Structure 1
Amino acid sequence: MSKIARLAIQSGLPQLDRLFDYVVPDALLDNISIGSRVKVGFGNSKKSLEAFVIEFAESSDFKGQLSEVQSIVGTGAFLESEIFLLCRQLAERSACALGEVLKTAIPAHMPRAYAAHTAFSEVTDAIQGEMASTFEAEYLSELAAAGARAFLLSEPRELKLALGQKQISTPAWLALFLAIAVKNIQRGQSTIILVPDYREHTIVVSAIKALGLDSYLADYSQEQAKSKQYTGFLRALDRQPRIVVGSRSAAFAPVHKLGSILLYDESDRSYVDQSSPYLHTRDVALVRESIQDCSLVMASHSMSTDVRRLLDTGYLSDATLSYSPPRISISEPGLRVDSHAYNAIRQGLIVGSVLVQVASLGDSTALYCKLCDEVARCPNCSGPLWVDSGGSKKCRWCNGFALDYLCNCGSAEFSLGRAGATRTAAELGKSFPSARVVESTGENRLVRIKPGKTLVVATAGAEPYLAGGYAAVVLLDARIFLGKQNLRSLEESVRVWSNAVAKLATKSNGVLVGVSGELAQLFALWDHSRISSNELAARKELQLPPAVRMGSVTAELNLVSAISESLSQFGSVVKIGPAPVPGKPGSSLWRLIFKYQYSEGISLARHLKSEVTRIASGRSRVTDSGRNARAVTIKMNDAEVV
């Protein structure tokens, strides 16, 4: 007898945002199960859609004739029940379709990668020897306990870690994460390690391999080919303990018996998904921990206001251990590279390598008319011009290059603005001719450098690792970081400074150039708790995130106005705007910003989702690139609006 399967279709269309009943033909009965990936037809479309079996039913409320499941993709369950529950909750909180979150959680099927994986039956090796670390067994047990939720300020230096006969030196946060992962494996449980970008990912994977834990690794790196990414998903799906390493998508890894989610540097903007459903990995980890009752450990070198709020409410516990703070001195505002910074670089190069952090890449961050000092602007979009590391003039808005610049005053000559990484490296290279000078940016990607007398000039977040640490770290352009027009400029500045200082060698010196006052003093004392508490208090007074949530609705003016009017039923929701979307001359898009309390999030998301379906169903708009996009974009937690 045929049975009925209730399916979740992997589509972002609002009309498909519910479960659909399909008949399972007799030929597929033996192979289909809850969580199976299947192909189905829908309506008059000739194209098959992928869907997942959520449950089976004896009967259907649909009065017409049910369509049949066309085929089964692969064997076994691709969508675990916990992952489906996670996706459903996140979709509800984000005012988006379930299918959009499913696309984030479950990668597209790769037949060759699937065949290769199923043909190779791997048995993980038993862990050889005992784990030796500086962390006490009781401390590790507390962090790995079911339901534990903790944050810790990681020690800003390297620590030794040994497993049997294998020993490595690694950043303190990674030593802790690996110690927890090994403890979980010994209990038959899996671990998810989340890192912001490829540098940390490379360091983590290298450490896992150096300890002989290769057979437990499930690599979720987005730097890999799609087939390799799918292999990482399939390895996570295996019914044996795994150590999953990745960024945003790894938070959905369908691991066997999840023991811990370990999140490094949770306030890094790389954790924010730039496309729908616009999720933050920190939020995904928090929701998943509440569903699966695993442990959640966040480790950073600074403390964000979001974590400060969670600590103040008691949702997270503070698991920071006592350690000697790094040695940091402050240089008053003045020259960009003053005598204090110069001496720190000179003395550091005597014994080893020196790291210099700068705010911008390229040769010059801006161009000015040589005659009238007006900012040089792009002839195509009026965006500001700058000079990249290759010496080419580029526009910051449209990324146009080789532009013919002509000022309104008639002059075609320009002068250079503030130095970027390329010019800084050239200037410091002249001052220290005996040192090897290396530039590290998002364009020139370095993960590690070899020991030696090397002067590294790096943009924030691009600082390469050095075994044993740098002999000196100099933080330039501090006022530029603090002066960015963003609500989180202070805490983002402290974060990137702290991550650079964490690469210092033991008993070496760091220098922060151009900052004075209380912030400089607290940073020199490494008092991140006080910095975050002060910042959160200011946000509470102004009712800004994370004291409240802030979201946005972006669409054409008539649609935004209709949604704004519907929000009037939520008395505590504060509306700001609508106003034209900035930075897009000639755009017809408007944006409404709204502030709301955390307790209203789910009910508000449901309302917005319903309103968008009602007023914008079947409508779309054309993006600047010529693609079709949804008429309305909703972000329940918009990190870019302030």
Structure 2
Amino acid sequence: MPGGAVARVLVDSPLPQLDQFFDYSVPERFRASARPGVRVRVPLRTGGRIADGWLVELADTSEYGGRLSELEDVVSEVPLLMPEVWALARAVADRAAGNASDVLRLAIPSRYVRVERTWVAAPGDPGPLPDTPPAIHGAPAGRVEAGIARGERMSLSADPRPLRLPTGEWVGAWAVTIAVAAAHALAAGRSSILVVPDYRDQGQLEAALAASVDPRRVLRTDARQSGGERYRAFLDATRDEARIVIGNRSTVYAPAARLGLIAIWDDGDALLNEPLAPGVHPRDAALVRQEQSGSALLLMAHTRSVEVERLVEIGWVHDIAPVGSAKPRIIPTEQQATPEPGSARIPSAAWRQAQEAVREGPVLVQVARPGNAPLLACDRCREPARCAACGGTLAVPRSGGDPGCVLCGTRASAWRCPVCDGTKLRVVTVGASRTAEELGRAFPRTRIILSDGERPVLKVDAEPGLVVATRGAEPIADGGYRAVLLLDGERMLLRESLRVAEDCLRWWSNASALAAPGAPVFLVGVAGTLATALSTWRQAEWAATELAARRALRFPPAVRVASITASNAAVARAVEAVRAIEGVDVLGPAPADDGLERAIVRFDYAAGAPVARELRAEMIRVATERRRPVAGRPARRPPVLRVRFDDPDVP
């Protein structure tokens, strides 16, 4: 065949047996448009179907000895799959025993023909590069700048306070640090990728970037955009100009010319857990991309995740000690047994401080959950109270009266604790709505602001008021809150999860960082090492202690894990395939949903590649297993074998 007449195509399919290159001949009519990175349509010999795919490479010859099928069509002549994005997708998919096409589905948005034609006709002006960005806030002078220049992996604890931008807008100090770091990379003619958990963080970071760089150099990619806007931003990112790309977890796969910096804010936030296959965390994808590209990597948070602590301890990520940051004034406070009428279960000392602080400005009250109904637990052992009939949560009805199940309505008059046989219940959580009502009665002439998932509030002004917010939904206040009350700590710690303590410390730290310098922050009803770590602002030391405990028990991230969900026989075969690999041990199997079973495979990081290969081979074997129908019987359900590496749902 003449040069470049063979197209190597990755078919867009979730089937594991199709996760490989297929060779097609390029007909003469497509010789000019068939370039690496374009979308194509190709025939599949099975059933004569036509499938979408990506033209990844062009070759002179094919190893296939027979006659090649021809490309059916070139969907778009604009290359969308950049070589560096393909290399990243292939690497992270192999690491997680997944399909590269699944990763590309996250990385490349849906096509909009009209947007594409407009973009080709009028590419637009990206604006000038910044001249001399200011020094990076919160780090030793020149330290992060030097790390960006030499492509270093860095961990930096954020300055825990709000800062005022030249525009008069208030943002977290972390946003200023990341924005200026990206400006330094941009000034050197290199792109940056900035990953944040949600739109609240993105808004702060965009405001901070506007003070450092030309807005035309900033590209936003997130689910809140229209499809056309997101596709236009993606097309702009494929150009050769240096850009700053900002968005949520899938942004880590965005194309970026001469990538100089990847920054991730608060990598421990559960919103960064990727729910779609193959479920690769953006932190892990960023580590792979940093190594492939030679860019710098900056991991920032108020509370260092245990995963980052492990990377720091093994020397893969360099810890940078923050400078010039004032620690919040944390005051651990006991939960009072019988709250004062209308005090919303706030201890007396915190109550008095709130009354004084609210005269000067806004006061934040963080609660565990939205809604109105108070949740209950055993008064003796603090076990969450559940319905004996259906297992639902017990709560006091909004209208008052006896406690009952929130699911089936069964009354709990004869409730008995299954752990300690106690019969007395106590309130452990009151929802945000109920707390706002109580505070409204206690402060009749004070403005009450409620912020939760259904009624989000992004910012509040400096006027006096009480802001009741669920965890993660706290608005930023102009000048910072004059006092912060962290309620329901006891209830937050009752959640059954390996990461519950780490999550709580992160929630409380992020809320504390919204306080004005010197303002009191009351942590209610929590004592021990968590309260000490928060009050001394030594979250990194707590993460080191937590990692040591998990290492002793062989819990992640001291080791990696993979969950295997299938029928009993399929789980047994998959487990047998990996059991002989050194450093592997297996927990289970245990019953899972839909009559399936689940086993947990634990393995050292060095064994990750062979474990992924063996489980991948087993997935292909199950997917290609012949299933002949039996006359007179209904068709059998196709076999299921689900594999999830680094599964965040493993308790």
Task: Normalising by structure 1, report the TM-score.
Answer: 0.89
C-alpha change, 1:80 and 1:630, in structure 2 (3 Å) is farther
Instruction: Give unmatched runs, 5+ long, in structure 1.
Output: 621-627
* SS of structure 1 residue aligned to 2:476: coil
CA drift of 1:408 comes to 8.9
Could you say which residue in structure 2 is the equivalent of 1:27? Answer: 29
Q: Give CA deviations for 1:607-634 in whole Å, capped at 9, x if unaligned.
A: 00101211343699xxxxxxx9971111
Residue 143 (str. 1) matches residue 128 (str. 2): no
Could you say which residue in structure 1 is the equivalent of 2:7? Answer: 5
User: Aligned partners of 2:616 and 2:598: how far apart in 1?
Assistant: 16
CA drift of 1:347 comes to 2.0
Could you say which residue in structure 2 is the equivalent of 1:347? Answer: 356
Residue 542 (str. 1) matches residue 553 (str. 2): yes
* SS of structure 1 residue aligned to 2:142: helix
Residue 479 (str. 1) matches residue 480 (str. 2): no
CA drift of 1:289 comes to 0.2
User: Aligned partners of 1:532 and 1:416: how far apart in 2?
Assistant: 31
CA drift of 1:210 comes to 5.3
Could you say which residue in structure 2 is the equivalent of 1:338? Answer: 347
Could you say which residue in structure 2 is the equivalent of 1:624? Answer: none
Given the alignment, which residue of 152, 159, 162 partners 2:163? 159
Contact 1:133/1:160 (CA < 8 Å) preserved in 2?
A: no
Contact 2:43/2:49 (CA < 8 Å) preserved in 1?
A: yes
Could you say which residue in structure 2 is the equivalent of 1:623? Answer: none
User: Aligned partners of 2:193 and 2:256: how far apart in 1?
Assistant: 8
Residue 608 (str. 1) matches residue 609 (str. 2): no
Q: Give CA deviations for 1:568-610 in whole Å, capped at 9, x if unaligned.
A: 22243111110112xx5xx312110111101101110010010
Contact 1:376/1:407 (CA < 8 Å) preserved in 2?
A: no
Could you say which residue in structure 1 is the equivalent of 2:365? Answer: 356
Contact 1:143/1:150 (CA < 8 Å) preserved in 2?
A: yes
CA drift of 1:207 comes to 3.2
Given the alignment, which residue of 418, 435, 446 partners 1:435? 446
Contact 1:131/1:161 (CA < 8 Å) preserved in 2?
A: no
C-alpha change, 1:374 and 1:601, in structure 2 (3 Å) is closer
1:269-418 maps to which residues of 2 (within 5 A)?
269-322=270-323, 323-335=325-337, 336-366=345-375, 377=387, 383-384=392-393, 405-407=409-411, 418=429
User: Aligned partners of 1:482 and 1:528: how far apart in 2?
Assistant: 17
User: Aligned partners of 2:159 and 2:90: how far apart in 1?
Assistant: 37
Q: Mean alpha-carbon deviation: is it higher for 599-608 or for 477-486?
A: 477-486
Q: Give CA deviations for 1:182-231 in whole Å, capped at 9, x if unaligned.
A: 11222111111100011111222233345562201211111222222222
CA drift of 1:312 comes to 0.7
Contact 1:619/1:631 (CA < 8 Å) preserved in 2?
A: no
User: Aligned partners of 1:553 and 1:444: how far apart in 2?
Assistant: 38
Q: Mean alpha-carbon deviation: is it higher for 593-602 or for 450-459?
A: 450-459
Could you say which residue in structure 1 is the equivalent of 2:644? Answer: 635
User: Aligned partners of 1:87 and 1:220: how far apart in 2?
Assistant: 18
1:169-188 maps to which residues of 2 (within 5 A)?
169-188=170-189
Q: Mean alpha-carbon deviation: is it higher for 70-79 or for 604-613?
A: 70-79
C-alpha change, 1:257 and 1:592, in structure 2 (3 Å) is same
C-alpha change, 1:387 and 1:230, in structure 2 (3 Å) is farther
C-alpha change, 1:132 and 1:477, in structure 2 (3 Å) is same
Contact 1:333/1:516 (CA < 8 Å) preserved in 2?
A: no
C-alpha change, 1:579 and 1:227, in structure 2 (3 Å) is same
Could you say which residue in structure 2 is the equivalent of 1:105? Answer: 107
User: Aligned partners of 2:264 and 2:470: how far apart in 1?
Assistant: 23
Contact 2:129/2:189 (CA < 8 Å) preserved in 1?
A: no
Contact 1:153/1:301 (CA < 8 Å) preserved in 2?
A: yes
Contact 1:221/1:247 (CA < 8 Å) preserved in 2?
A: yes
Contact 2:387/2:412 (CA < 8 Å) preserved in 1?
A: no
Instruction: Give unmatched runs, 5+ long, in structure 2.
Output: 338-344, 378-382, 416-424, 628-636
% identity of equivalent residues: 33
Return the letter of the residue paired with 1:148: E
* SS of structure 2 residue aligned to 1:51: strand
Residue 563 (str. 1) matches residue 574 (str. 2): yes
User: Aligned partners of 2:583 and 2:451: how far apart in 1?
Assistant: 47
* SS of structure 2 residue aligned to 1:114: helix
C-alpha change, 1:417 and 1:315, in structure 2 (3 Å) is closer
Given the alignment, which residue of 464, 467, 484 partners 1:453? 464
Contact 1:153/1:302 (CA < 8 Å) preserved in 2?
A: yes
Contact 1:218/1:236 (CA < 8 Å) preserved in 2?
A: yes
Return the letter of the residue paired with 1:144: I
C-alpha change, 1:417 and 1:533, in structure 2 (3 Å) is closer
User: Aligned partners of 1:366 and 1:329: how far apart in 2?
Assistant: 25
Return the letter of the residue paired with 2:495: K
Residue 596 (str. 1) matches residue 574 (str. 2): no
CA drift of 1:442 comes to 1.5
* SS of structure 2 residue aligned to 1:275: coil
CA drift of 1:47 comes to 4.9
Could you say which residue in structure 2 is the equivalent of 1:493? Answer: 504
- Matched positions, count: 616
* SS of structure 2 residue aligned to 1:351: coil
CA drift of 1:29 comes to 1.0
1:59-78 maps to which residues of 2 (within 5 A)?
59-78=61-80
CA drift of 1:276 comes to 0.9
User: Aligned partners of 1:309 and 1:216: how far apart in 2?
Assistant: 35
Return the letter of the residue paired with 2:295: C
C-alpha change, 1:428 and 1:630, in structure 2 (3 Å) is farther
Q: Mean alpha-carbon deviation: is it higher for 153-162 or for 8-17?
A: 153-162
